């Protein structure tokens, strides 16, 4: 069942490749159950490129279903470091707005 209000999914702790399956399960649940998902990433303590890839895949799935998928505020410092280091914030990147446009 799809809800009509924005749902905030809080990501915290280690969301790197070590826990990618757990994060993916939470993202799948959120996308299935809600029409608008906002991610809170400020409490992430460990992230890597797998984190970014998983979040982008979830966003793509949400958009394919006609749903909204955004960040609630700027990326947390650990995610920000990965985004900076891997070049995801470059305006030429097609997904840069996900990380820079906040609700």
Rounded distance between C-alpha atoms, residue 69 and residue 103, angstroms: 10
Q: What average pLDDT does the structure give for the chain? A: 92
**Torsion angles phi and psi, residue 47, rounded to 5:** -145, 160
Given its phi and psi angles, is residue 9 left (phi above 0), alpha (psi -120 to 50 degrees) or beta?
A: beta
Question: Quick one: pLDDT band at residue 84, thresholds 50, 70, 90?
Answer: very high
Return the SS3 of 94.
coil
pLDDT in tens, 9-49: 999 999 999 999 999 999 999 999 999 999 999 999 999 99
Residue 57 has pLDDT above 50, yes or no: yes
Mean pLDDT, range 66-72, rounded to an integer: 95
pLDDT of residue 1: 45
CB 37 within 8 A of CB 76: no
Tell which CATH architecture fits domain 3-100: 2-Layer Sandwich (3.30)
Given a contact cutoff of 8 angstroms between Cβ atoms, the answer to whether 48 and 81 are in contact is no
């Amino acid at each position: 069942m799809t809800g009509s209000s924005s749902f905030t999914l809080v990501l915290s702790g280690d969301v790197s490749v070590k826990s990618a399956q757990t994060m993916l399960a939470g993202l799948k649940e959120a996308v299935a159950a809600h029409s608008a998902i906002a991610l809170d990433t400020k409490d992430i303590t460990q992230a890597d490129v797998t984190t970014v890839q998983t979040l982008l895949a979830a966003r793509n799935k949400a958009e394919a279903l006609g749903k909204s998928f955004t960040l609630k505020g700027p990326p947390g410092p650990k995610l920000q470091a990965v985004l900076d280091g891997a070049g995801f914030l470059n305006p030429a990147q097609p997904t840069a707005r996900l990380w820079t446009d906040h609700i």
